[in-house]
Amino acid sequence: MGNIFNLFGDDDNSQNNNNQDSKNNSGSQGNSTTSSTQDTQTNGSLELHKEELDITKNKVDAGEVVLSKEVVEEQKNVEVPVMHEEVVIKRTPVNERSNASISAEETIHIPVSQEQVQVNKYTVTTEEVSASKRQVEETQQVQETLKHETANVNTTGSVDFVSDTTGFEDINNS
């Protein structure tokens, strides 16, 4: 088995061209592909292929947010100062003579008042709760194994050839 050249690069349709090299003192030898019938060819080409990623994104439901409210009751004890009137009866002893007749017809009316607590309820808005959506972009790592084809040139015997590696790197001569 002779020299093995691995030719690779970004061009999927790369070709090996026949060139003459005066330094090698050899005739024009072409890279040839061997078909299944072992036909001898004067020149040929080999197409190289590689896999690339085709990434798509699908929108899926992640859940939902539901805003609602509930009524909570609590007992509130409030001390309210109230006023009321009291009647003060004062007796003062008097020992004097009077010309008034004794009668049950004399009456005095003194109105007495008090404050009474009246409770009314009213509604007050304490806060507003709102919800909205926003889009947040993040990056996810995707790892996949990709295949690509490389060209191998095998020779047997004393075969000299020149390789045009424009845009390619010959790893065997590095």
pTM metric for this prediction: 0.37
Q: How far is CA 85 from CA 79, 82, 107, 115, in A?
A: 19, 10, 20, 9
3-state secondary structure the chain: CCCCEEECCCCCCCCCCCCCCCCCCCCCCCCCCCCCCCCCCCCCCCCCCECCCCCCCCCCCCCCCCCCCCCCCCCCCCCCCCCECCCCCCCCCCCCCCCCCCCCCCCCCCCCCECCCCCCCCCCCCCCCCCCCCCCCCCCCCCCCCCECCEEECCCCCCCCCCCCCCCCCHHHC
The answer to the question of residue 13 being in a domain is yes
Does the residue 166 lie in any domain? Answer: yes
Average pLDDT over all residues of the chain: 78
pLDDT tens sequence across 89-132:
999 999 999 998 888 888 999 999 999 999 999 999 999 999 99
> Cα–Cα distance between 5 and 160 in angstroms, integer?
13
Q: What pLDDT is attached to residue 169? A: 58
- Whether residue 3 lies inside any domain: the answer is yes
Report yes or no on 93 lying in a domain. no
Q: Which residue has the tokens 């004062």?
A: 90
Q: Is the pLDDT of residue 144 over 90?
A: yes
Q: Which residue has the higher pLDDT, 36 or 62?
A: 62
In a domain, 67, yes or no: no
Domain annotation covers residue 159: yes
Q: Is 75 domain-assigned?
A: no
Q: Which of 7-21, 114-128, 151-165 has the highest mean pLDDT?
A: 114-128
Residue 7 pLDDT > 70: no
Within a domain: 148 = yes
The number of folded domains in the chain is 1
Domain residues for 41? Answer: 1-50+141-174
Reported as a pLDDT band with limits 50, 70 and 90, residue 174 is: very low
